[in-house]
Amino acid sequence: MYVNGEWLRDGPTFSVHNPATGETLGEVFDGNAEHAQQAIKAAEQAQDSWAGETAYKRSELLARAHGLMLERQAALANLMTREQGKPLKAAMNEVKYAADFLLWFAEEAKRIYGETIPSARADQRFLVHKQAVGVVAAITPWNYPISMLTRKLGPALAAGCTVVLKPAESTPLCAMAVFDILHEVGFPPGVANLVTTSDPKPIGDVFCTHPSVRKLTFTGSTAVGKHLAQAAAPQLKRVSMELGGHAPFIVFDDADPVHAAKGASLVKFLNTGQACISPNRIFVQRRILEPFLDTLQERVGKLRAGNGLDPANSIGPLINEAAIAKVDRQVQDAIAKGATLLSGGARLSDGELANGHFYGATLLSNISADMLIYREETFGPVAAVVPFDDDDDVIAMANDTRYGLAAYVYTQNLARALRTFEQLQFGIIGINDINPTSAAAPFGGMKESGLGREGAREGIEEYLETKLGGISI
Ligand code: NAP
């Protein structure tokens, strides 16, 4: 772990494995509650001086970290593919996306503006000032093991907060590589701290109950997010929650079915379906169902699963055995309840896939609301197609979920696009667009997909308090 500007390596460890091959990649420090307390203490001690640095200094360090991350793009991507499994090209894209947050918030650090407000009293002035929230505790998932860190570190450090971060147990090596960068560019001791662990609960408990932690930022499942939000509530800690999703992907009958099917296959199988914004229900208007399915089936059939280091492979492994079991349970449940299997539908374990967690790219049609896949987040390579007839029906069906993160709409009709955009209860909506994400754009969900936004101008507000000065003159 990395605390107060130093790597601590002596102590118990846990092993990190390659999900494609089963090979052990390394041994990592296994932190516990005391280590979390130690890291929070270091962050607390550094808080005032870090918040007191000029915005220009904080900006300069973040910009240097951005530069170094890009210099190391290939090495970081290689590590990510081995540790998390996504194909190398996708890992290269993720490192670039991750670095974008460092640069965006390096710039935003210099734009933390206050306000003066006219008063009704001639002898009074109002001054509004923004200041750092204080020590931030951050918990991140394995599916985007570098960008989910920089999406928190960038704005928190830019705002003048110090941070203690706990990465996912499956991907601590990527987190350590990020902290190597922060160390090398010269962030002062205690400003950014990392606690790796194989047992997240005791660390989470400390994060939620330690009085010095003023803000908890979490990305992961809705179940764990709710638990943490409850645990942080007695002290009214500020929380940001980036949680699960169940994205609808709606294709209206005026859309080009071939173009829409290409989009669906690209975004559905990205990161082997292990993305919070992955389409979980693909609604297709019946008049164009056949050409849509023909194209999607052809494309899904060509997706080759395997080790992401081989450029011939377009989908990597799932993260672990539990993920394989969950995906297969949803697929078998759907088939038993009447879905049609058009491709895949089984674990892959032949030859070099034997020691990895691979599941074949799967296409199911005739999905209905009584199936598990219609409600549960799949987090795997399964495209589930639901036919529909009427515009109003599809909006109701799309909104019929406790989640509200991302949604996608394909139509050439502007009125239909705008109506759908306004009626969908989701925080991110791609209209004829499968990549509605950027460091410059607010990312986050409605309903049980979370609280708060990351990235964009909004992203830094999550780490700032508003302070009012009322001054009699
Ligand atoms: P997860 O099981 O909730 O884990 C996320 C993080 O929480 C990991 O670091 C995990 O540690 C930790 N954790 C688990 N139980 C904890 C506890 N009791 N106290 C403190 N920390 C705890 O989720 P995941 O399976 O890693 O990630 C997938 C989920 O994340 C999906 O639902 C996905 O949709 C969501 N996600 C959301 C976004 C977004 O921006 N909205 C982005 C990416 C992913 P361990 O690794 O040690 O278990």
Residue 365, token pair as written in the block: 């049609």
In a domain, 440, yes or no: no
Q: Are residues 333 and 356 in the same domain?
A: yes
Residue type, 15: S
Q: Are residues 201 and 327 in the same domain?
A: no
In a domain, 438, yes or no: no
Domain limits for position 34: 2-243+447-472
Where is 22: in which H helix or E strand? none
In a domain, 286, yes or no: yes
Q: Are residues 113 and 258 in the same domain?
A: no
Distance between Cα 241 and ligand 1 center (Å): 10
Q: What CATH number should be reported for the domain holding residue 346?
A: 3.40.309.10
pTM: 0.98
Is residue 432 within 8 Å of 272, Cβ to Cβ? no
Determine whether the shortest distance from the Cβ of 204 to ligand 1 is under 6 A: yes
Q: Are residues 68 and 155 in the same domain?
A: yes
Give the residues across from 465 on adjacent strands.
Answer: 131
pLDDT score at 34: 98
pLDDT score at 233: 98
In a domain, 437, yes or no: no
Q: Are residues 294 and 192 in the same domain?
A: no
Q: Are residues 279 and 202 in the same domain?
A: no
In a domain, 108, yes or no: yes
Where is 102: in which H helix or E strand? helix 88-108
Tell me the pLDDT of the chain (473 aa) as tens digits: 999 999 998 899 999 999 999 999 999 999 999 999 999 999 999 999 999 999 999 999 999 999 999 999 999 999 999 999 999 999 999 999 999 999 999 999 999 999 999 999 999 999 999 999 999 999 999 999 999 999 999 999 999 999 999 999 999 999 999 999 999 999 999 999 999 999 999 999 999 999 999 999 999 999 999 999 999 999 999 999 999 999 999 999 999 999 999 999 999 999 999 999 999 999 999 999 999 999 999 999 999 999 999 999 999 999 999 999 999 999 999 999 999 999 999 999 999 999 999 999 999 999 999 999 999 999 999 999 999 999 999 999 999 999 999 999 999 999 999 999 999 999 999 999 999 999 999 999 999 999 999 999 999 999 999 999 999 99
Distance between Cα 323 and ligand 1 center (Å): 13
Give the residues across from 136 on adjacent strands.
Answer: 163, 215
Q: Are residues 308 and 401 in the same domain?
A: yes
Q: Are residues 93 and 220 in the same domain?
A: yes
Q: Are residues 208 and 265 in the same domain?
A: no
In a domain, 442, yes or no: no
Q: Whose CA is nearest to atom 42 of ligand 1?
A: 276
pLDDT score at 107: 98
Residues in the chain: 473
DSSP E strands: which ranges in 336-463? 340-343, 347-348, 358-359, 362-365, 382-388, 403-404, 406-410, 428-431, 446-447, 450-451
In a domain, 193, yes or no: yes
Determine whether the shortest distance from the Cβ of 143 to ligand 1 is under 6 A: yes
Q: Are residues 108 and 183 in the same domain?
A: yes
Q: Are residues 180 and 217 in the same domain?
A: yes
Determine whether the shortest distance from the Cβ of 377 to ligand 1 is under 6 A: yes
Q: What CATH number should be reported for the domain holding residue 56?
A: 3.40.605.10
Distance between Cα 411 and ligand 1 center (Å): 34
Residue 250, token pair as written in the block: 């709606």
Residue 309, token pair as written in the block: 């280091």
Residue type, 174: C
- Max CA pair span of the chain: 81
Distance between Cα 140 and ligand 1 center (Å): 6
In a domain, 378, yes or no: yes
DSSP E strands: which ranges in 286-381? 340-343, 347-348, 358-359, 362-365
The crossing angle, in degrees rounded to 10, of helices 147-159 and 55-71 is: 160
Determine whether the shortest distance from the Cβ of 220 to ligand 1 is under 6 A: yes
Catalytic residues: 242, 276
Atom of ligand 1 nearest to the CA of 445: 41
Residue 29, token pair as written in the block: 């420090």
Determine whether the shortest distance from the Cβ of 165 to ligand 1 is under 6 A: no
pLDDT score at 458: 97
- Nearest CA among 239, 237, 244, 193 for reference residue 218: 239
Measured CA angle at 145 (ends 144, 149), to 5 deg: 100
What domain count does the chain have? Answer: 2
Q: Are residues 358 and 224 in the same domain?
A: no
Whole-angstrom distance, CA of residue 46 vs CA of residue 370: 53
